Chain A
Amino acid sequence: MSEILKINGQEKTFEEGLPATLSELLENLKIDAATVVAEIDGQIVERKDFAQTNLTAGQSIELIRFVGGG
């Protein structure tokens, strides 16, 4: 069955069910985990915990990384 996550403010539907963990989500989105920090429902998730962080439908996930800035 399809399930939904809110990623960076946009709803994304997973037709085959959610990725089990944050690491799997990043793989699914083809994002290099080494350069990313995440927040789930406003709580920061450390990179070392990505593989142990389970996802549930309806969560709001922010994926953030460094860019150039002054």
Chain B
Amino acid sequence: MAALKIANSEFTSRLFVGTGKFASNDIMARAIEAAGTQMVTIALRRVDIENDNDNMLAAIDRKKCQLLPNTSGARDADEAVRLSRLARAASGINWVKLEVTPDPYYLLPDGSETLKAAEVLVKDGFIVLPYIHADPILAKKLQDVGCATVMPLASPIGSNQGIKTKASIEIIIEQATVPVVVDAGLGAPSHAAEAMEMGADAVLVNTAIATATDPVQMARAFKLAVEAGRIAYETGLPPKHTAASASSPLTGFLRNE
């Protein structure tokens, strides 16, 4: 498999893993290991000053995994920029998964606010990976302002519906000059394999792994699916035909015709 290059970094794994919703830090750490991922997303929240807070970062092996802070919770461009700067101050990392989701029910991203924030953040030295609807025009605009990837959604976050935006993601992949990461809604390894077969450069999975009965085994299943899909894409899938084409030789000795 070819390496994935984002900005000036190379990744041999094409599976990004989100760290939300895991039952414990231990299960999260073992799922990250089983996924073989080199990119994990994290979020920022207020410290609960009345209770002990555990430090989930300590459970992530930062030699193996790049941390990708997200801007979840941001409802407009200003909030996303503020969260990005806080994340950079907290971690020293200038990478950010830019997400602006004003509507908590479907959590669909606001394209115009995302573009506005992306312009500010790129100028401020961030490596910006924006989460977007599968909108090929917006993807091009984000690429043009200097985003390092585009991350179109397959279906709403955490919905496990698979790739409902296929035709648009195919156009984004065809047109993009930056890596395309299919993010959100991938509920089964087969969905991830499908995205990779389509030519996506990587996928991001959280809910389907974290909420599985056995997150460690599910992480492994996604790892294998992503690799299988990528290898199939690099090899080139055969064309489809309407009629059958026999796999076995049709010897005629059973009948005298």
Tally of A-B residue pairs with Cβ under 8 A? 93
**Chain B residues with a Cβ closer than 8 Å to the other chain, count:** 34
Instruction: Pick the residue among A12, A36, A39, A68 that contacts B56 (CB under 8 A).
Output: A68
**Chain A residues with a Cβ closer than 8 Å to the other chain, count:** 26
A63 touching B72 by the CB < 8 A rule?
Answer: no
Instruction: Pick the residue among B42, B89, B91 that contacts A69 (CB under 8 A).
Output: B42
Contact with B along A12-43 (1 / 0, CB 8 A): 10000000000000000111100111010000
User: How far, in angstroms, from A66 to B55 measured CA to CA in the complex?
Assistant: 8
CB of B22 within 8 Å of the partner chain = yes
Chain A contacts with B in 30-69, Cβ cutoff 8 A: 30-32, 35-37, 39, 44-47, 62-69
16 A-B pairs with CB atoms under 8 Å apart are: A8-B47, A32-B55, A37-B44, A37-B87, A46-B89, A47-B89, A64-B47, A65-B44, A65-B53, A66-B56, A66-B69, A68-B18, A68-B19, A70-B18, A70-B43, A70-B157
- List 12 additional A-B contacts (Cβ < 8 Å) besides A36-B47, A68-B22, A70-B19: A7-B49, A8-B49, A35-B55, A36-B90, A44-B89, A63-B47, A63-B49, A64-B46, A68-B21, A70-B21, A70-B204, A70-B206
